Amino acid sequence: MRVQVAIIGAGPSGLLLGQLLHRAGIDAVILEQRSPEYVLSRIRAGVLEQGTVALLERAGVAARLRAESLAHRGVGIAFGGSRLRFDLQELVGKSMAVYGQTEITRDLMEARAAAGARTIYEAEEVSVHGFAGTKPTVRWTKDGAARELECDFIAGCDGFHGVTRAAVPQSAIRCFEREYPFGWLGILSDTPPVDLEIFYAFHERGFALCSMRSTSRSRLYVQVPLTERVEDWPDERFWAELRRRIDPDAAARIVTGPSIEKSIAPLRSFVAEPMRFGRLFLAGDAAHIVPPTGAKGLNLAASDVHYLSQALIGWYRTGSAAELDGYSGRALARIWKAERFSWWLTRLLHRFPDEGEFLWKMQQAELEYLAGSRAAQTALAENYVGLPY
């Protein structure tokens, strides 16, 4: 088998890249280790920057998003018994959209199937070869048989634990990482959102977040130590803890219900440099991870796909390698700014168990400064809605 581009990974970044290339007439095949059902079972973020929405429009998969997404025009931070609201539209003239990552994945899968584009699921033992030269190959097994394809380029969209970054010689890559001493215990429940807008909570017991997927489905989180187990958190305990951490008005409005998904996610910041190795390009979680604070993970993956799709389309249309050569630098410039914002917001809103009362006082002072400074509020809003590509 031969294709122009081999994409490893059928998460949102791989599927979106495949859809954009297909619409540009570029032959791309996607290889995914898991089944379609498993891919769709992964519960992830759902707050989209305008750039991400525009990219989904360009890919021709935004019809359901336009019909079903919720407008996210403001965001709040609860602290000291009250709530500070940031009017995104008024501060920076932009808003965001709430639409679950699972739904984006479903839309992309259906579009790819309707177009007859090739996605190979349950591809085992995937490996990439020859990307330092001009004839890369990808090998895998399917139903016990060994397979191989030749391609012009490989796009590594296979996540933090994927095979593509691991295939790069250690001497050619540099990794930067910060692990955080806590996790997010999250639940999904078929209950109305606590508020019409997403809000974060800063509390002496730890961080909390009240978000939603629709007008009848909520996504809620509380900060917990990494030693906690999901089994230690029956629904009743979760709802009681959430009430303690948010402002009293919101706590009084909570409608409780059984969780339909519950998990604990550790937090880390991670960046790999560069993102190009010959004819292998990394995108999304294969190259970077951000804490979920600020909802930058999916949006950063989308901006990678924007740069990489433009570069590949340009190469096939004009033969120019200029955008391919510039891909890593352009992507990383935006990545590091988003990493900075996610790190700052995480440090501002969480209780760090080993850093004492000085940091706690600094966090309170920062929040009070935000409450009284339009300039600080504008800076937060500018980063929250997403910096331009």
Catalytic residues, which ones?
A: 72, 200, 292, 296, 384
- How is 125-139 classified by DSSP, letter by letter? EEEEE-TTSS--EEE
What number of other Cβ atoms are within 10 A of residue 317's Cβ?
A: 11
* Both tokens assigned to 81: 């018994």
* Both tokens assigned to 61: 């998969």
Please give the Cα distance from 22 to 235 (Å, whole number). Answer: 44
Let me know: does 385 contact 336? Beta carbons within 8 Å: no
Sign of the torsion formed by the C-alpha atoms of 182, 301, 215 and 217: negative
Antiparallel, parallel or unpaired: β 28-31 and 119-120:
parallel
Host H or E run for residue 371:
helix 356-372
Which among 131, 108, 121, 81 has a CA at the least distance from the CA of 23?
108
Strands of the 124-129 sheet, one edge to the other: 124-129, 137-142, 145-150
Host H or E run for residue 307:
helix 297-318
Antiparallel, parallel or unpaired: β 74-79 and 70-72:
unpaired
Cis amide bond preceding 274, omega within 30: yes
Name the CA radius of gyration of the chain, rounded: 21
Please give the Cα distance from 109 to 376 (Å, whole number). Answer: 40
